[in-house]
Amino acid sequence: MYRINTYSRIFLQYFLGFLTFAITTGILYLLRDYLDTPLIALLFLLPVGINTAFWGLGPGILSALSAFLGFNYFFIQPYFTFAVHQSSDLIVLVVFLIVAVVISQLVGRAQAGLAAAKAREREATKLYELSIALAGVQDDHAIVRIIAEEIIQSFKSERVELTAKSHVKAQKIEFSLPVESAPLSRKPEWRIPLQTARGLLGEIRLWRADTTLHPAEKQLLHTFASQGAMALERAWLTQTETRAKVLEESDHLKSALLSSVSHELRSPLATIKASITSLRSGDVQWSSSAREDLLASVDDETDHLNRLVGNLLDMSRIESGALKPQRQWNLLSEIIGGVISRMRKATEQHRLDVNLPEDLPLVPVDYVQMEQVFDNLISNSLKYAPPNTTIHISANRQDDGTLLVTVSNQGPHVPQEHLDRIFDKFYRVTDADRVTGTGLGLSICKGIIAAHGGRIWAENLPDGFAFNFTIPLTLDGAPPPSLPVESETI
């Protein structure tokens, strides 16, 4: 269909070119008594110029030749013959032919230049649109879709199919437009490879009834293909770079973990090994109090090791997103009470002051995880607060429906710029040698509180240091339940 249209268009152009010439000839013939020959020759240049300008070089040349013949036939004596009697008329005719052909050529060339410029402009616009559409797109599926859309818009085609290798696990991406159209039975008229430095990425297949493509269009199609290939390549490079960065970061963390862990694991092991080997060696008769001391330190150090391993496990669980709180309605006083009872030995040198309002509602938390938060916050306070000072624990219902819990101590301030970072893994304000621990306790707290939908932060107080955290007081949208209280006794 397109093909017929093209031929009929060309035919129409020539026809119109000839018509212009015929009308001009008719008018001039009617006026021939009033016009002299050179003027007629001049006026005959008019259709030549018009035709070339409007219909192109072919119709222009046609009208130039027609004008030459028509001029000779109708206006040069003897009329109605192609014979020429006067030599001056012959010169006029020849000059006319040369001028007509030159004009038509000049105008035609200008026309062609204009058309080429317009095509270039169109091409540039389309390329611009394509590059704008592709800018910043990192998803290769999106890139393939954009290329297909731009191609089907720019090249009037029945169907476009794109295939490309995805960089994710060498998957194959396929996309075709119009969407939901059945594949055509015939082979595509155009196949353009998507070629990059890494090799062949895929292919553009174009079904287009009009098999002829202007060289400019052909070039545009190839430019689209190379732009698309470049975009896919860029997406691949970006992802590779991101992956490399993530790997590098996790590598860095792993080495920090390893150095921290090996240091932390080795010191209790050293104590255990030293104590046990001393007790086993037959050289010394240990007094019963010395024996007791050595055994107590072995006992303490195994507990310490157990805590370390637990912390590491928790951290890896938080990192992998496997830490899912089993939230249930709990009493904060019971949780804190349990932790304090268990830490009785560790808290001997400090005073603990728990201040919970009598009407504190039930809190929707994971009992075990919340115990761990308090355990870690209290342990941290014990580490830094001087002996014989008080650690305060308080909780209050906030106006926004959350619970604010504060664990404060009379320990030293933490520089303002470190306040956020103390919740980072392995982050220490002081030298690692001064205080023991994996550097994981606070980041575990942060992970647990975040999994509960709350927030944790630290602040310097005028006379100490405080950890604060919030916990939403709703569980699946439900507020704390109030239970019917039995008053009747048996």
Q: Which is nearer to another protein, 134 or 261 (CB)?
A: 261
Smallest separation (angstroms) from another protein to the CB of 485? 8
- The CB-of-333 to another protein minimum distance in angstroms stands at 6
Among 219, 302, 394, 468, binds another protein (CB under 8 A): 302
In the complex, minimum distance from the CB of residue 421 to another protein, in angstroms, rounded to a whole number: 28
Residues in the chain: 490
Among 277, 285, 289, 489, the residue binding another protein under the rule CB under 8 A is 489
Q: Nearer Cβ to another protein, position 162 or 395?
A: 395
DSSP 435: S
Handedness of CA 256, 261, 262, 267 (dihedral sign): positive
Contact between 333 and another protein (CB under 8 A)?
yes
Q: Do the beta carbons of residue 217 and residue 192 sit within 8 Å?
A: no
- Nearest to another protein of 214, 342 (CB atom): 342
Helix (H) or strand (E) holding 91: helix 87-134
Our CB check for another protein shows the closer of 221 and 312 to be 312
Q: Should residue 256 be labelled a site residue for another protein when binding is judged by CB under 8 A?
A: no
- Residue 487 touching another protein (CB under 8 A): yes
Give the residue among 20, 73, 62, 15 at the shortest CA–CA distance from 43. 20
Interface with another protein includes 483 (CB under 8 A)? yes
Give yes or no for a contact between 327 and 473, defined as CB atoms under 8 angstroms apart: no
Question: Radius of gyration of the chain from Cα atoms?
Answer: 45
Evaluate whether 130 touches 146 at the Cβ level (below 8 Å).
yes
Can residue 262 be called a binding residue for another protein (CB under 8 A)? no
Among 341, 359, 388, 462, which residue sits at the site for another protein (rule: CB under 8 A)? 341
Which CB atom, from 212 or from 328, has the smaller least distance to another protein? 328
Phi-psi sector, 181: left (phi>0), alpha (psi -120 to 50), beta = beta
| 376 Cβ contact partners less than 8 Å away, ≥ 6 residues apart | 441, 442, 444, 445
Report if residue 338 touches another protein, rule: CB under 8 A.
yes
Omega prior to 178 cis, within 30 of 0: yes
Query: Which residues make Cβ contacts (< 8 Å) with residue 311, sequence separation at least 6?
Result: 438, 440, 441, 444
**Contact flag: residue 486 with another protein (CB under 8 A):** yes
Scanning residues 357 to 386, which ones bind another protein (CB under 8 A)? Answer: 362, 367-368, 371
Residue count at the site for another protein (CB under 8 A)? 31
Out of 49, 58, 193, 310, which residue is the one contacting another protein (CB under 8 A)? 310
Report the C-alpha gap between 232 and 134 in whole angstroms: 10
Closer by beta carbon to another protein, 87 or else 487: 487
Using rule CB under 8 A, residue 180 touches another protein: no
Cα–Cα dist 467/404, whole Å: 10
Between residues 166 and 376, which has the closer beta carbon with respect to another protein? Answer: 376
Does residue 277 bind another protein (CB under 8 A)?
A: no
Is residue 331 near another protein by the rule CB under 8 A? Answer: yes
Is residue 227 within 8 Å of 127, Cβ to Cβ?
Answer: yes
- For another protein, which residue of 6, 8, 328, 430 counts as binding (CB under 8 A)? 328
Query: Interface with another protein includes 340 (CB under 8 A)?
Result: yes
The CB density around residue 41, as the number of other CB atoms within 10 Å, is 22
- Do 205 and 193 form a contact (C-beta atoms < 8 A)? no
Omega prior to 78 cis, within 30 of 0: yes
Judged by the rule CB under 8 A, the positions of this chain that interact with another protein are 299, 302, 306, 310, 313-314, 317, 326, 328-331, 333-334, 336-338, 340-341, 354, 362, 367-368, 371, 481, 483, 486-490
